[in-house]
Amino acid sequence: MGSKIDTQERPGMSRLRVLLWTVIVTVLLGTSTATIFLFGVGHWLIQEDRLAPATAIVVLSGYTPDRALEAAQLYDDGYAPEIWLTHPGGRVDALADLGIRYPSEDDVNTRVLRRVGVPAKAIHVLETPIANTDDELNVISSNLQARGGHCVIIVTSKSHTRRVHLLWDKYYSARGQAMIHAVSADSFQASRWWMYSGSINQVVHEVMGIANAWAGMPVQAIPLPNSAVVAEGKSSPEHIAAD
C-alpha cells in the first residue's frame, strides 16, 4: 500500500525539485550578473587609446576647464599642432540673437587655453552648432576629412570614452581615425561608482547612451534651429542622437 503511494507521489516531487532548482539557478545567475555589472561596468566604460602624433587635438564639450587643460598638456607634449573646440549651440546662440552677450563654452575654453600658453593661432573653433556627442563627432570627422587630415585625438571624460569609440567606429571611421583620450585627473570612481552620486549619474547616462547607439539611435535629440548640416552630401542629418 505504501509503495503505491510513493510511486504516485514521485512525479509531483520530481516537478517540485525541478522548479526549486530552476528558481535557485535563476537567482544565482541574476545575482552573479548584478555583481559583475556592479563591480565591472565602471572599468568597462573606460576605453582609451595609445597616443600618437595627430592632425589635431579636439576638446569635447563639457567638464570645463578639465578637458581643455588636458588638451593643452597634450599640445605641449607635441602630439598635434592644433587644438579644435566644438561650439555648443542652443541657449548661447539664442541669447546672441537677442543681443545679449554671454560667453559660450568654446569662448571659455579658448580663454583657458590662452591662459596656459597655447598660442591663438593653434586654437580653432568648429563653428557648426552641436547639441550632443553625435553632433560633435559628425562635425569633427567632417572637418578632419575636409582638411585632408588623417587622425584626431579626442579628449573627453573617462566614463565617456567607450561611447565615443562606439559612435566613431559605427558612423564616422570612414572619414579618418580617432584616438580617444581621457582627462588624467578625472574624478570618476570606476571601482566604486555606486558610492558617489556624480559617478552614478555618469554610469547611468553612458550605459543608456551606449544602448541607444547599439540599437541604431532610436532616441533622438531635438535638432538645433538653423544648424548647419555637415554630413557628406546630405540635405539632412543621417541621425540626431540623444547625448
Domains in the chain with CATH codes: 56-214 (3.40.50)
Tens of pLDDT along 183-213?
999 999 999 998 999 999 999 999 999 999 9
* DSSP E strand boundaries for the chain: 56-59, 83-88, 123-130, 151-156, 177-182
**DSSP letter (8 states) at residue 220:** B
Give the C-alpha distances (Å, rounded to integers) separating 44 from 179, 191, 207.
Answer: 17, 10, 10
Is the pLDDT score of 144 beyond 60?
yes
Tens of pLDDT along 1-42?
455 545 455 666 677 766 776 777 666 666 555 555 666 899
Distance CA 199, CA 193 (A): 5
The pair phi, psi for residue 154, each rounded to 5°, is: -100, 120
